[in-house]
């Protein structure tokens, strides 16, 4: 089956210095800390480069603008803000403490970037729930951070993106705590969102059971507070976008329609029951956020005591920012091109105006695979990216067959090299493409045809 991968920005002009793909390194040093390598190490240099970018801390970048808008919307509602956490965390923080089963696919080397057996790039902001529950002095907290996943790359997926985590807890030892939760629900500002939620009054279902330590009424109240908080947040963000669009003179019909969201059941190892919210935006349901009632074990692991009940959510910021700013490709967020950055200013939601592209140079690489080959499409993609940096516009499998007599397998990948700054010369592409072929041969033992 042909599978299309389009790695790296269509429009970005970052020129990563070409460095060889992780020829076995003894250790990796980041921000003064050294991580000895082992058989788990799988972080390519281009991912290491992204760690330093901290887009959510840049007030003039769409991700930073959205982050600031969220902070402003939640100000005064009892949430401590955390946005300085380093992206390198332990396996314990990212998985174990949250109760991920040992065989959960998220733990695998093909899903997660590992420095070594113990250290990895966080795959979600939930990796900091444990420490925030321990540290925070307010009833809740918000975490914004860059997260990393070995994902395929296309318009809405990139191996680095951003999440906003929120959590809130109550103590059952507080007198009249159920009334207190109801008051907290009532104090969330009203929205005129249209909500489809078959589970609002009956949050517990066969597929989405409650934890035994909670009563149905506690679940109903905590879930209602959770959902109203997310609806409020989503409403704030989208209302802001609408206002900006109207100010900019847009007359699109959706600007006058009320925002519509729906709740669906979900599963996360550290929450139960769990849900996701989807937002109806320009004719499509868009998955925005996972959430649920925090498993008691996570609260106990954080030494919060036996009396707490709590919710948590995690929103993907990049996809929301794409909608708000009309950004057609998630890779653009990582562009260093002035023509991208000069379009955005702190506190303002403006609509992105695309700029032109230079033509690309297509090159094919065909090879025979060794019989026990472990080569994965993602490996080819990462090799190309490590030599071409952001000039790697796309990589796709264009041909694949098994020789009828010898049984050998052959593959052909087509690579499109492209720069936004200038026309590329054949000569420079020859050098880069030659390095790609070399790397494939030495690392995966393929025979170039
Ligand atoms: C999580 O990451 C959970 N940590 C969320 C959570 C937090 C659940 C707290 C319960 C309690 P999920 O993998 O679905 O869940 O990702 C959350 C959001 O991140 C998605 O809804 C989506 O908006 C965004 N997202 C996921 N993968 C990508 C990607 N490759 N590129 C851009 N955005 C992504
Ligand atoms: Mg999801």
The CATH number linked to 205 is 3.30.930.10
Residue 330 shares a structural domain with residue 385: no
Ligand 1 pocket, residues with Cβ under 6 angstroms: 124, 126, 149, 151, 157-158, 161, 163, 165, 268, 271, 287-292, 312-314, 316, 318-319
Q: What is the CATH number of the domain that holds 380?
A: 3.30.70.380
CA 281 to chain centre: 20
Question: 384 with 338, same domain?
Answer: no
Alpha helices in 306-410 (DSSP H): 317-325, 338-341, 377-388
N- to C-terminal Cα separation, the chain: 21
Domain assignment present for 88: yes
Give yes or no: residues 77 and 151 share one domain. yes
Q: Tell me which residue has its CA closest to atom 24 in ligand 1.
A: 316
Check whether residue 113 and residue 183 sit in a common domain.
Answer: yes
Query: 139 CA distance to ligand 2 centroid (A)?
Result: 26
Tens digit of each residue's pLDDT, the chain (449 residues) = 222 232 323 222 222 233 334 456 899 999 999 999 999 999 988 899 999 999 999 999 999 999 999 999 999 999 999 999 999 999 999 999 999 999 999 999 989 999 999 999 999 999 999 999 999 999 999 999 999 998 766 677 788 999 999 999 999 999 999 999 999 999 999 998 999 999 999 999 999 999 999 999 999 999 999 999 999 999 998 888 788 777 877 777 767 778 899 999 999 999 999 999 998 877 788 888 999 999 999 999 999 999 999 999 999 999 889 888 888 888 889 988 889 999 999 988 888 988 877 888 999 999 999 988 888 887 888 888 889 887 888 888 899 999 999 999 999 999 989 876 788 999 999 999 999 999 999 999 999 99
130 within 8 A of 301, measured Cβ to Cβ: yes
For residue 268, the SS3 value is strand
Residue 221, classified by CB atoms within 10 Å of its CB into exposed (0-12), middle (13-18) or buried (19+), is buried
Q: 294 in a domain, yes or no? A: yes
Of 145, 319, 321, 332, the residue with max ligand 1 atoms within 8 A of its CB, to mutate for a pocket test, comes to: 319
Q: How far does the centroid of ligand 2 lie from the alpha carbon of residue 314, in Å?
A: 9
Which amino acid residue places its CA nearest to atom 2 of ligand 1?
A: 124
158 within 8 A of 134, measured Cβ to Cβ: no
Cα separations in angstroms, 296 against 98, 211, 273, 302, 348: 10, 8, 12, 10, 40
Q: Is residue 20 part of a domain?
A: no
Residue 216 lies in a domain: yes
What residue spans of 100-169 are helical by DSSP H?
129-135
Please tell me the predicted confidence (pLDDT) of residue 299. 96
Contact (Cβ atoms closer than 8 angstroms) between residue 417 and residue 424: yes
Same domain, yes or no, for 287 and 379?
Answer: no
Assess whether 336 and 373 both reside in one domain: no
Q: What is the pLDDT of residue 15?
A: 26
Instruction: Tell me how far the alpha carbon of residue 129 lies from the centroid of ligand 2, in angstroms.
Output: 18
**Closest C-alpha to 230, from 178, 268, 180, 274:** 274
C-alpha of residue 94 to centroid of ligand 1, in Å:
13
Please indicate, yes or no, whether residues 262 and 367 belong to a single structural domain of this protein.
no
Residue 8 lies in a domain: no
Q: Are residues 332 and 436 in the same domain?
A: no
- State whether 369 and 328 are in the same domain: no
Which pLDDT belongs to residue 359? 84
R_g (Cα) of the chain, nearest Å: 24
Query: Per the domain annotation, does 22 fall within a domain?
Result: no
* Cα–ligand 1 centroid distance for 95 (angstroms): 15
Confidence (pLDDT) at 351: 86
The pLDDT of residue 24 is 66
Q: Closest by alpha carbon to 383, among 50, 114, 49, 19? A: 19
User: What per-residue string of b and e applies to 62-90 under the rule 16 or more CB within 10 Å gives b?
Assistant: bbbbbbebbeebbeebebebbeebebbbe
3-state SS assignment for residue 56: helix
Q: Which amino acid residue places its CA nearest to atom 14 of ligand 1? A: 290
Is residue 349 situated within a structural domain?
A: no
Number of structural domains (the chain) is: 2
DSSP assignment of 200-235, as one string? SS----SSSPPPTTS-HHHHHHHHHHHHHHHHHHHH
Determine if residue 31 is left, alpha or beta; phi over 0 gives left, psi from -120 to 50 gives alpha, anything else beta. left
Taking CA atoms only, the protein residue closest to ligand 1 atom 33 is 316
Mutation pick for ligand 1 pocket among 274, 290, 321 (CB with most ligand atoms within 8 Å): 290
Q: By three-state DSSP, how is residue 26 classified?
A: coil
Are 258 and 302 part of one and the same domain? yes
The predicted pLDDT at position 369 comes to 94
Out of 315, 342, 369, pick the residue that ends a domain: 342
- pTM for the model: 0.82
| 291 shares a domain with 376 | no
**Are residues 200 and 115 part of one domain?**
yes
Structure tokens at 443: 């690392």
Q: Residue 202's domain spans which residues?
A: 27-342
CA 435–ligand 2 middle distance (angstroms): 37
pLDDT, residue 110, reads 87
The answer as to whether 17 is a domain residue is no
The three-state secondary structure class of 143 is strand
C-alpha angle with apex 179: 176 to 184, nearest 5 degrees?
A: 125
């Amino acid at each position: 089956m042909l599978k299309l991968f389009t790695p790296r920005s269509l429009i970005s002009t970052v020129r990563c210095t070409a460095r060889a793909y992780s020829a076995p390194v003894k250790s990796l040093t980041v921000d003064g800390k050294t991580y000895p390598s082992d058989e788990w190490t799988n972080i390519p240099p281009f991912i290491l480069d992204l760690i330093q970018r901290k887009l959510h801390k840049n007030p003039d970048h769409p991700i930073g603008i959205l982050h600031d808008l969220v902070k402003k919307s939640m100000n005064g509602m009892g949430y401590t803000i955390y946005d300085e956490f380093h992206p390198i965390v332990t396996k314990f923080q990212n998985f174990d403490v949250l109760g991920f089963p040992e065989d959960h696919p998220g733990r695998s080397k093909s899903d997660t970037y590992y420095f070594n057996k113990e250290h990895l790039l966080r795959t979600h902001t939930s990796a900091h729930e444990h420490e925030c529950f321990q540290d925070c002095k307010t009833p809740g907290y918000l975490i914004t951070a860059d997260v990393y996943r070995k994902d395929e790359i296309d318009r809405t997926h990139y191996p680095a993106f951003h999440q906003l985590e929120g959590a809130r807890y109550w103590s059952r030892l507080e007198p009249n705590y159920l009334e207190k939760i109801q008051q907290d629900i009532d104090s969330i500002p009203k929205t005129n969102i249209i909500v489809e939620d078959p589970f609002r009054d009956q949050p517990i279902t066969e597929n989405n059971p409650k934890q035994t330590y909670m009563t149905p009424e506690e679940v109903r109240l905590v879930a209602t507070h959770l959902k109203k908080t997310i609806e409020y947040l989503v409403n704030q963000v989208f209302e802001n976008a609408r206002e900006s669009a109207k100010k900019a003179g847009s007359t699109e019909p959706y600007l006058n329609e009320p925002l519509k969201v729906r709740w669906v059941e979900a599963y996360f190892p550290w929450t139960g029951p769990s849900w996701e919210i989807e937002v109806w935006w320009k004719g499509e349901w868009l998955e925005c956020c996972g959430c649920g009632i925090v498993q008691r074990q996570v609260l106990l692991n954080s030494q919060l005591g036996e009396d707490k009940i709590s919710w948590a959510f995690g929103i993907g910021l990049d996809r929301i920012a794409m909608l708000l700013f009309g950004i057609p490709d998630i890779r653009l967020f990582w562009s260093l091109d002035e023509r991208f950055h000069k379009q955005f200013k702190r506190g303002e939601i403006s609509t992105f105006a695309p700029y032109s592209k230079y033509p690309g140079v297509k090159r094919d690489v065909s090879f025979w695979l060794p019989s026990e080959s472990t080569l994965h499409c993602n490996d080819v993609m990462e090799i190309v990216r490590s030599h071409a940096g952001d000039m790697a516009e796309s990589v796709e499998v264009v041909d694949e067959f098994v020789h009828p007599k010898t049984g050998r397998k052959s593959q052909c990948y087509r690579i499109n090299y492209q720069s936004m700054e200038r026309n590329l010369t054949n000569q420079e592409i020859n050098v880069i493409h030659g390095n790609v072929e070399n790397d494939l041969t030495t690392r995966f033992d393929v025979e170039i045809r």
